[in-house]
Amino acid sequence: MDLFPSSNTLIPIPIPDGELLWLAQLPLGLANEEVLARLVAQTSWRAESITLWGKQHLQPRLTAWYGDARYSYSGLDLEPLPFTPLLLEIKRAVETVTGEAFNSVLLNYYRDGRDSMGMHSDDEAELGPEPAIASLSLGATRTFILRHRQSKQTVKLDLTSGSVLLMRGKTQHFWLHGINKSARQTGPRVNLTFRKICASADKLQQKTK
Ligand SMILES: O=C(O)CCC(=O)C(=O)O
Ligand SMILES: [Fe+2]
């Protein structure tokens, strides 16, 4: 039995029908502010447009996709960019604390409190039936909202700079999550969600195209 778990041990946040784990500070070789500044400056940010009820809109945030595999997200077919040395270093740190392996990362840049992400599940077939998704937050604290599809139970978590939230098990099946707009004065925030795209689903997708 580990009587003295290191401070790099994820802490379970109990929820019904899912698994959530939390680490307050990911050990990174650089200060959070420095990593945030580098990611803001060095990432190929895009303003993607999405179709909602037949109308074209710009997503209320900037995004970028890095990794080894294709992925469709909210109807967008994203062509990944190759991992940069900085992203590979962050990926290794996230893999070490979570014990999971990832091959891609979606970056979201919330420029201020007006940027947001609608309620959704990351339940695309390419992620497999019980995906592990690790989310690293840098910059302004934003509230992450989870809502159970059936019971409508709501869980709110303040995602502070440097923290890692791991969702796994049946979480994507039973829960939606998102980031609301904030009326308060809010600085920039970058969130990185590390995912594992399954090769078999990738091949399957190519076959059916
Ligand atoms: O910004 C966040 O914390 C949430 C990001 C997210 O849910 C996603 O990228 O799918
Ligand atoms: Fe998500």
Could you tell me the residue ranges of all domains in the chain?
A: 11-208
User: Which of 66, 108, 156 best tests ligand 1's pocket when mutated (most atoms within 8 Å of CB)?
Assistant: 108
Ligand 1 lined by 43 (C-beta under 6 Å): no
pLDDT at residue number 202: 46
Distance CA 158, CA 142 (A): 6
Position in ligand 1 atom list of the atom nearest CA 193: 9
User: Which of 102, 192, 193, 196 best tests ligand 1's pocket when mutated (most atoms within 8 Å of CB)?
Assistant: 193
- Closest residue by Cα to atom 10, ligand 1, is 122
Residue 3: which residues within 8 A CB-CB, separation 6 or more?
Answer: none
Domain 11-208 fold: Jelly Rolls (2.60.120)
Ligand 1 lined by 179 (C-beta under 6 Å): yes
Q: Dump pLDDT digits (tens) for 137-164.
A: 999 999 999 999 999 999 999 999 999 9
Ligand 1 lined by 59 (C-beta under 6 Å): no
Position in ligand 1 atom list of the atom nearest CA 106: 9
More confident residue, 5 or 28: 28
Q: Which residues surround ligand 2, an ion (CB under 5 A)?
A: 122
Distance CA 94, CA 149 (A): 28
**Nearest to residue 194, comparing CAs of 100, 59, 124, 63?**
100
pTM score of the predicted model = 0.90
**Strand (E) or helix (H) holding 22:** strand 18-23
More confident residue, 43 or 4: 43
Q: How far is CA 29 from CA 25, 32, 59, 89, in A?
A: 12, 9, 32, 9
> Which of 48-52, 119-123, 195-199, 200-204 has the largest mean confidence?
119-123
For the segment 167-190, the average pLDDT, to the nearest whole number, is 97
